[in-house]
Amino acid sequence: MENFTAFEKTGTVPERNTGSIISHAFEMYKGLIGYAILTMILYVVASSLIQAFSGIDQQAVLDHVKSSEGTVDYTEIWKIEGMKEYYGLSALLSFLLGPLLVGLVYMAHKVNNNLKLNFSDLFIGYRQNFLNILIYSFISSIIIGISFMLCFLPALFIGPMLLIGYPVLLFENANAIEALKKTFSVAKENYGTFLGAGLLGMLISMSGLLLCFIGVFITAPFIYAVMYSAYVAYVGRPRQIIHNS
């Protein structure tokens, strides 16, 4: 288990504005990009297995989208063979991979402290505060999911409220409800910066779509570096005092 003590305002800490947070996140991300790509590969492999296992009729989905003329009928897509199984298993995958994404936050912390990265760092979320990470991942997925169902815009505005939840779970060993309360509290008081950093971070993460499929592997995990940088800016840089392998 990793242990952290009181927070410091020393070392590499971004200023409390969108530009500084994004710039800091870039510096952190450069140091862990290889592991970020590996995380994406693991995710895509798992997704491919789910797709094969669900037996989803991909051609039926494509045909429906092509014939929709810009207005997709999701009730009809839901009826396509294997779609319910696919979405159910995909939700389960996202739920179970939450702790893996926490590993990227931890790696950003190690980059910030000039510590050597190890492959096992990716799995810290499965060793530390695992249950609360799962619960938080589940609750936050429901919040974002409902926001998207209401309309796309609510999700954009609610997403930044969850920006530092994973760092709170990792560095403060908080339970899921405490993490939700803290990320909402900090974001509410600094909403403009959190909105800017969250939206810009997501746009950068999604920018890989413009660089062909391979680009997604490079950019998609960037938002987790943004989570760390926002946390450090507004809470402080946690100082690691014990490392038990």
The per-residue pLDDT for range 14-61, each reduced to its tens digit, is 999 999 999 999 999 999 999 999 999 988 888 777 766 666 655 555
Distance from C-alpha of 223 to C-alpha of 203, rounded to nearest angstrom = 9
Q: In this predicted structure, what is the pLDDT of residue 47?
A: 76
Q: Is the confidence at residue 222, as pLDDT, over 90?
A: yes
For the chain, what percent of residues have pLDDT higher than 90? Answer: 48
Residue 109 pLDDT grade (very low, low, confident, very high; cuts 50, 70, 90): very high
Residue with more model confidence, 55 or 131: 131
Number of other CB atoms surrounding residue 197 within 10 Å: 30
Nearest-Å Rg of the Cα atoms of the chain is: 19
Q: In this predicted structure, what is the pLDDT of residue 10?
A: 46
Number of other CB atoms surrounding residue 208 within 10 Å: 19
Q: DSSP letter at 221? A: T
CB-based contact 147:158 (threshold 8 Å): yes
Highest averaged pLDDT of the listed ranges 83-97, 133-147, 182-196: 182-196
Residue with more model confidence, 154 or 59: 154
H/E run at residue 228: helix 222-234
Number of other CB atoms surrounding residue 100 within 10 Å: 18
Mean pLDDT rounded to a whole number for the chain: 81
Residue with more model confidence, 123 or 237: 123
Q: Is the confidence at residue 80, as pLDDT, over 70?
A: no
Q: In this predicted structure, what is the pLDDT of residue 133?
A: 95
Q: DSSP letter at 81? A: T
Mean pLDDT of 73-92: 61
For the chain, what percent of residues have pLDDT higher than 70? Answer: 71
Half-sphere exposure of 186 (CA within 13 A, CB side): 22
Q: DSSP letter at 79? A: T
Q: In this predicted structure, what is the pLDDT of residue 245?
A: 42
Q: In this predicted structure, what is the pLDDT of residue 16?
A: 94
